[in-house]
Structures are given as structure tokens and as C-alpha cells.
Amino acid sequence: MSQLTVVVPAYNESAVLEQFHQRLGAVLDALPLHCDVLYVDDGSDDDTWAIITALAARDPRCGGLKLSRNFGKEAALTAGLDHVVADAAVVIDADLQDPPELIPELVAQWQAGHDVVYATRSARAGESGFKRFTAAAFYRSMEKLSDTTVPRDTGDFRLLSRRALDALRQLRERQRFMKGLFAWIGYRQTAVYYQRDPRQAGQTKWNYWRLTQLAIEGITSFSTAPLRLATWTGLAAALFAFVYGLWVLASALLYGNSVHGYPSLMVVILFLGGIQLLALGVIGEYLGRNYAESKQRPLYFIEEQRRPGAPTPASRPPHAPALD
């Protein structure tokens, strides 16, 4: 019988974990697969790990990883996927915005021969109009800027086959944008559409600042367009300054050199200075990412692990850290 592991990253999700596991368990009970669940506690400062431990004690299908600190969702996802030894894995958040009841549809598409089955949101309930607008703008910008096509309106909720998991484990870059990495590995991919629900309990961890940082991460990880934009903007500014200089020279020759012009001079200086700082900022973003990659630090550390009670292969997956 095929094996399926559900990977659930969690950061301060104690308010919703019990409800989530109840709904997920009902779904897994109905699947004709050998299923287990792997919760990844990303350094929560509430009792998330205590709840995961209690779930593991009650349900033999349930296991958990506790990271040594908060490494971020992308690292938590990586940790969970590194430890999957099943034939396929489903990634889903614990906040119940992504319904576990959709998992059988993902499994059906996997069994039909697809390696990556991603869940695309046809509606986003419980989100503001501004949030929906910025999300749509981001995905459409990624389409234009990146050579890797990232599916529109698609989060991390998806199924990955064994072949896709093995490919993903070879990508050990430190600056991780998982939605882009899922798309970059290729293979046969398809979408399943659903309506996203509001968060059932607790507070979202994704404020606009963190979402902006994630957007910058995604664009700089999969596109050099900002560097080209800085180049073309600098060229346009230089051309504007040259034309303006010719106009000043012609004006002085034709009408004489008056003292007036301080405001226009300041405008030109501030404009060119702003363009230079913008270009330096863009270059700095890429340089900082190269610096982080050059240090070759591990992506995460595990403080504690609870293995599912169900039998699994004894071998440790590639790239998974030793637990001693």
C-alpha cells in the first residue's frame, strides 16, 4: 500500500491545532493509503509543541519536529519535507484556511500520474480587498519578471510525489522561496481549485511587512529583472540629465546666464541621487543574498523529534540532519 505523509508547519498555532487534527484525521481515515502526519514546530513560544506531543501520544500516525528556534516558514517546510520517507507528501497549513477535505482530490490527481498537484484559490474568504489586490499583483508580477512560471493565487498547499521530493531535496539554497522552488523542479504538475476559508482561530503571522519581505525574496530569487530595471533607469536618468544640460547651455547662449536656477538644480541633484540610491539598494539586495549563500549555514536545527508510531523505513532521508 502506498504511503502518504502530511507535513504541517506550525508557529504559535495552539488555538487551532486540536480542531485541525480532528478534521485531518477524519480525512486520512477515509483514504485507502497508509497515512501519517508530521507537524513542524517552528520555534513557537506558546504551547504548540506540547499539543503536538499530546496528539502524538493519542494518535500513532502523528509525529513532530521541534526546531531549535524560529527559522521561518520556508525553513520549517524544508525540514518537514526532508524527513518524509513516504511515497508522497501533502503540505498544508494548520490554520484551516486550506481545507483538509481537499486532500483526496490531490491524491486522485497524483494517482493519475502527476508529480505536483497544487491547490489554487478561486476565492479568498476573510481577506481584505487590499490583501487580495496585493496578492494578485505579486503573482502577476512574478509571471512577467521570472522565467519560472509560478502558478497564480497558489500557496504552499499541494501534494508532491516521491520524485518531486527527491528533486526538491537537492535544492539547498539558503534564501528559499518555496512556491518558486516547487515550480522550478518541473515534472508533471496540475491544479485543483478550491475556495479558501477564513482562519478558524488564532492570529495570522503574516503582516504586510513580512509579506513584502516574502515578495522581495521571491522576486530576487527567481529574477534579475530588478537589476536590469536599475540599469535602464540609470540610463534614462543620464539621458534626461544630458538633454537638460543641453537645454541649459542653449538657454545661456541665447538669453544669457542668469543667477536663477537653484530650484531646478536641486531637483536634478535630488533626482539623480535618488536614482543612484535606488540602484545601490537593488544591488545590495542581491549582494546580501550572495553573502548569505556563501556562508553555507545549515537551513535549520532540530531540538526534538517525535516519530509517528506507524512503521516507516529505517533509513534517514538524504540531507536530513542526524538527531544525536
- Residue 244 domain boundaries: 224-295
Q: Which of 56-60, 94-98, 124-128, 154-158 has the lowest mean pLDDT?
A: 124-128
Indicate which CATH number applies to the domain containing 59: 3.90.550.10
Same domain assignment for residues 302 and 282:
no
pLDDT tens-digit readout, 243-265 = 776 676 676 666 665 656 655 67
Same domain assignment for residues 175 and 70:
yes
Exposed / middle / buried, residue 170 (Cβ in 10 Å: 0-12, 13-18, 19+): exposed
Confidence of residue 316 (pLDDT cuts 50, 70, 90): very low
Phi, psi of 133 (to 5 degrees): -65, -45
Q: Which residue has the higher pLDDT, 293 or 35?
A: 35
Question: pTM for the complete prediction?
Answer: 0.65
Q: How confident is the model at residue 165, as a pLDDT?
A: 92
- In whole angstroms, give the CA distance from residue 16 to residue 10: 10
Confidence of residue 174 (pLDDT cuts 50, 70, 90): confident
Q: Which of 46-50, 113-117, 153-157, 234-238 has the lowest mean pLDDT?
A: 234-238
Task: Round the average pLDDT of the chain to a whole number and report it.
Answer: 76
Same domain assignment for residues 173 and 232:
no
Same domain assignment for residues 177 and 249:
no
Residue 87 contacts residue 185 (beta carbons within 8 Å): no
User: Is 165 domain-assigned?
Assistant: yes
Same domain assignment for residues 136 and 228:
no
Tally of domains in the chain: 2
pLDDT tens-digit readout, 264-292 = 676 677 677 777 777 777 777 777 777 77
